[in-house]
Structure 1
Amino acid sequence: MLLDTRAQTLLKALVERYIADGQPVGSRALSKISGLDLSPATIRNIMSDLEEMGYVSSPHTSAGRIPTPRGYRIFVDTLLTVQHIDEHAVDARMRLQSQHQPQKIISNAAQMLSSLSQFAGVVLSPRRESVFQQIEFLRLSEKRILLVIVDPRGDVQNRMLLTDVDYTPSQLVQSANYINQNYGGLSFEQVRARVTGELRQLSDDMSRLMQAAVEAGSEAMTDHSDDMVISGERNLLSVSDLSSNMTSLRQMFEMFEQKTGLMQLLDFSSKATGVQIFIGGESNLVPMDEMSVVTAPYEVNGRIVGTLGVIGPTRMAYERVIPIVDITAKLLSNALSHS
């Protein structure tokens, strides 16, 4: 249902006042802060209409009203006046800290989001490619082998293999050479699809070693447990809306510890363009009614590779957080594209 100008003005004033002080807003206060020349009775009627539409609600302890998730949604989508952020100052800060190391740049972006917003900053790192350039086997002891995987960017992953056979160094070199010559540049999933039939020509021992390498390599290249960088979680302990009871605290830190739900949210937002706002109580992707997440995707050389955002209370200053997230995403895109 569309709101007329008076209803929009009153809803905007109510949300801004509630964000500022966290107290239900009454009709008398709205008559002073809205700038509208309306009687208290008219304001009460408009607020009753807004309540019927589901944009505001009345707590039992007060005659004032507070915004609902639906009220926050219309506020951030149509009524918000975004603040100006000094992009040059933020850019200088990121360049000073980056040192041209991609993981360091990403970590600094999370810290900067937290520092500027005073909430928690999160960055979902670019997913590692599942393609490998080469592998190497290193014999550690009688039946323990270290599998070394090098991807096309030169990044290295290590996995331990426990074997039934004590392979000689020459057998390990032979196996690694076979895989590199025949499968280098493919993903481990592609290798798995081809390897069963093609390895029949090799001895059982060598075949088992290569199949173990394929399984371990596939697991290593699809392990995303360290793909998320979070900074400033402790800032949220000082936000009464999020830490006012043990249930909320437990939900919040389960989200940070498990990361799965947060990764789903960031994955989902990477498919959209620009800043996205997920409001607790409205989005099933946000585990708490009192929490909101403001996200934006970032790019490397024109291709979206990850997402970043700010995690904070539903009662956050969106007009300030939105440009922080937007500018940080653009600066991170630029920094990674030139790192």
Structure 2
Amino acid sequence: MDTTKALDRRAQILLKTLVERYIAEGQPVGSRSLSKSSGLDISPATIRNVMSDLEELGFVASPHTSAGRIPTAQGYRFFVDTLLTVTPLEQARVLELKQQLLPDQPQKVISAASHLLSELTRFAGVVVSPRREATRIRQIEFIGLSEKRILLIIVTNSGDVQNRILLTERAYSANELTHAANLLNENFTGLDFEEIRTRVKQELRQLQTDMSELMSAAIDAGEEAISGSVEPYVLSGERNLLEVEDLSSNMSRLRDLFRLFENRTGLLQLLDLSRSAEGVQIFIGGESGIASLDDCTVVTSPYSVDGHIVGSLGVIGPTRMAYERVIPIVDITARLLSSALSPES
């Protein structure tokens, strides 16, 4: 049955009022309260009849301890899809947020976006790291630290900088280190480490035999640095959820939620779904398909680099959240992150 058609205007107004009151107050909403708040000139008895119909349709439920009603996940879904009015953030506020996501090293911007989502919503903020093609090398440098300790500096094509300490079997002079860096930069700039490894095996003897140990050490360390430099996602503000009464009242469910954060795989799969979507997506309760999120809502949005979607971000909070406030925060943060990660044309 099309539930939209099943709800007339009066029922929709009452459901909207109930959801808004419950989000604001966290208490079951009774008929008298709805009569005062809805603006409808109808009796509490009529409201009770409408509430019974809404309960039969699965939009509201009656807690055992109260005569009032609360929205179900289905009720929240109808509210978000049909009844919610979202007000965009003011331009001054957007500019203020933009200042917190200034372009820098990509991983720093991603962490900043995650913290921003958390701070603005007081829930958990998460940003999936960009899923890029193999990271290509822009520049490599060697700096001698002591007789057999060398600092390897790698600059990627995205501007990310990684450092690793190399321990070598013999000492290298400053001239040798400069020469080795020049060889790598002249011959392998623009390649990823797998391509560099293949080329080095073929060409190293022709380049310079006594550099083989240093080159091999640099490739191994560089590959490890690049592959280990990007976490699957950055999660911020998990502890905020301990302050959310709707979640903290069920410690067993809260422990399951934190295990999900530690495990990462399930949440990553959910967030990856939004990479193929346009704009903001909202997973309410069981819609996520993850049992530990049954009492939560996940609001997500994809973000892009140079017009290509590379990741997603979102907010994880209780189903009783201020959707009209959280949705625009997620939306604008995705836009600002896309802007920060995309070089100006």
TM-score range, shorter chain: 0.7 to 0.9
Match of 2:7 in 1: 5
Deviation by residue 1:134-176 (Cα, 9 ceiling, x = unmatched): 323445456544332121344321123455x335346655554
Aligned pairs, number: 337
Work out whether 1:168 is the aligned partner of 2:175: no
Cα distance in 2 between the residues matched to 1:70 and 1:193:
55
Once the two structures are TM-superposed, the CA of residue 275 in structure 1 deviates from its matched residue by 1.1
Quick one: which amino acid aligns to residue 268 of structure 1?
L
- Counterpart secondary structure, 2:252: helix
In 2, are the aligned partners of 1:122 and 1:228 still within 8 Å (CA)?
yes
In 1, are the aligned partners of 2:86 and 2:325 still within 8 Å (CA)?
yes
In 1, are the aligned partners of 2:129 and 2:230 still within 8 Å (CA)?
no
Cα distance in 1 between the residues matched to 2:112 and 2:136:
27
Quick one: which amino acid aligns to residue 297 of structure 1?
P
Compare 315-324 and 243-252 and name the one that shifted more.
243-252
Distance 1:135 1:294, change over 3 A: same
Match of 1:307 in 2: 312
Unaligned 5+ runs, structure 1: none
Distance 1:134 1:224, change over 3 A: closer
Match of 1:79 in 2: 83
Work out whether 1:216 is the aligned partner of 2:218: no
Cα distance in 2 between the residues matched to 1:172 and 1:253:
47
In 2, are the aligned partners of 1:296 and 1:325 still within 8 Å (CA)?
yes
- Counterpart secondary structure, 1:133: strand
Quick one: which amino acid aligns to residue 94 of structure 1?
L
Compare 220-229 and 17-26 and name the one that shifted more.
220-229
In 2, are the aligned partners of 1:19 and 1:315 still within 8 Å (CA)?
yes
Distance 1:96 1:159, change over 3 A: closer
Cα distance in 2 between the residues matched to 1:156 and 1:224:
9
Unaligned 5+ runs, structure 2: none
Work out whether 1:17 is the aligned partner of 2:21: yes
Cα distance in 1 between the residues matched to 2:235 and 2:293:
18
Q: Which of 231, 235, 243 is equivalent to 1:238? A: 243
Identity among equivalent positions (%) equals 63
Distance 1:153 1:106, change over 3 A: closer
- Counterpart secondary structure, 1:148: strand
In 2, are the aligned partners of 1:279 and 1:286 still within 8 Å (CA)?
no
Cα distance in 2 between the residues matched to 1:173 and 1:84:
54
- TM-score, normalised via structure 1 length: 0.77
After superposition, the CA RMSD in angstroms is 3.9
Cα distance in 1 between the residues matched to 2:53 and 2:36:
20
Q: Which of 284, 296, 306 is equivalent to 2:301? A: 296
Cα distance in 1 between the residues matched to 2:213 and 2:52:
72
Distance 1:150 1:337, change over 3 A: closer
Match of 1:117 in 2: 121
Q: How does 1:39-78 map to 2 (within 5 A)?
A: 47-78=51-82
Quick one: which amino acid aligns to residue 135 of structure 2?
S
Cα distance in 1 between the residues matched to 2:123 and 2:159:
35
Distance 1:84 1:136, change over 3 A: closer
Distance 1:334 1:179, change over 3 A: closer
Deviation by residue 1:53-99 (Cα, 9 ceiling, x = unmatched): 4433343434443333233222212221213432x221332355566
- Counterpart secondary structure, 1:185: coil
Cα distance in 2 between the residues matched to 1:118 and 1:183:
46
Cα distance in 2 between the residues matched to 1:75 and 1:303:
32
Work out whether 1:93 is the aligned partner of 2:107: no
